[in-house]
Amino acid sequence: MSANLYDLTAESLDGKPVALGDYKGKVLLFVNVASKCGFTPQYAGLEELYRKYKDQGFEVLGFPCNQFGAQEPGDAAEIASFCSLTYEVSFPMFAKVEVNGAGAHPVYKHLKEDKPGILGIEAIKWNFTKFLVNKTGETVARFGPQVTPAQIGPEIEKLLAA
């Protein structure tokens, strides 16, 4: 098992280090996002979840990734502009990362170890794979790209009530 999730840091989209410990006690949804993917319209659903539950202690954490079909080719400024103008994204966005392979970001190494996919395969198969983390930092669920944000709402509600 890798380090505690709260011991890790990630770089925000505007280049500042963010300690994941800052999110201790919150329910978190990690998503590897891309702006040129068939699942990109899920940004709207993610933003809807964020706005609905953020005041109850919920955060969506978006991690742009260009590992799947080169569907996130932009730089940080282009990603920020796209998210803001197209989907009015207000949830935290992070710098572009790799989620698979030797260069996988430590956050994603942790999430995949904590909650492997089908048949125990850790590799993420595509953009918009989602990891749900409870208030104590435990990864409790992994959802494939085809699972919509709205479908995850009931799970978020259970964790917020816990």
Residue 117: pLDDT band (50, 70, 90) is confident
Share of the chain above pLDDT 70, in %: 98
Catalytic residue among 37, 61, 83, 159: 37
Q: Is the pLDDT of residue 2 over 50?
A: no
Q: Is the pLDDT of residue 110 over 70?
A: yes
Residue 64, φ and ψ in degrees, nearest 5: -60, 140
Contact predicate 126/39, CB 8 Å: yes
Q: Which two tokens stand for residue 63?
A: 């991690």
The helix or strand, by DSSP H or E, that contains position 92, with its residue range, turns out to be none
- Give all domains of the chain, ordered by start, each with its CATH number: 5-161 (3.40.30.10)
Supply the pTM of this predicted model.
0.96
* pLDDT single digits (tens) 15-56: 999 999 999 999 999 999 999 999 999 999 999 999 999 999
The 8-class DSSP code of residue 93 comes to: B
Q: Which two tokens stand for residue 160?
A: 């917020």
User: Can you tell me the distance from the alpha carbon of 127 to that of 47, in angstroms, rounded to the nearest whole number?
Assistant: 16
User: Can you tell me the distance from the alpha carbon of 97 to that of 67, in angstroms, rounded to the nearest whole number?
Assistant: 9
Residue 114: pLDDT band (50, 70, 90) is very high
The helix or strand, by DSSP H or E, that contains position 30, with its residue range, turns out to be strand 27-33
Whether 37 sits among the annotated catalytic residues: the reply is yes
Q: Which two tokens stand for residue 61?
A: 């954490």
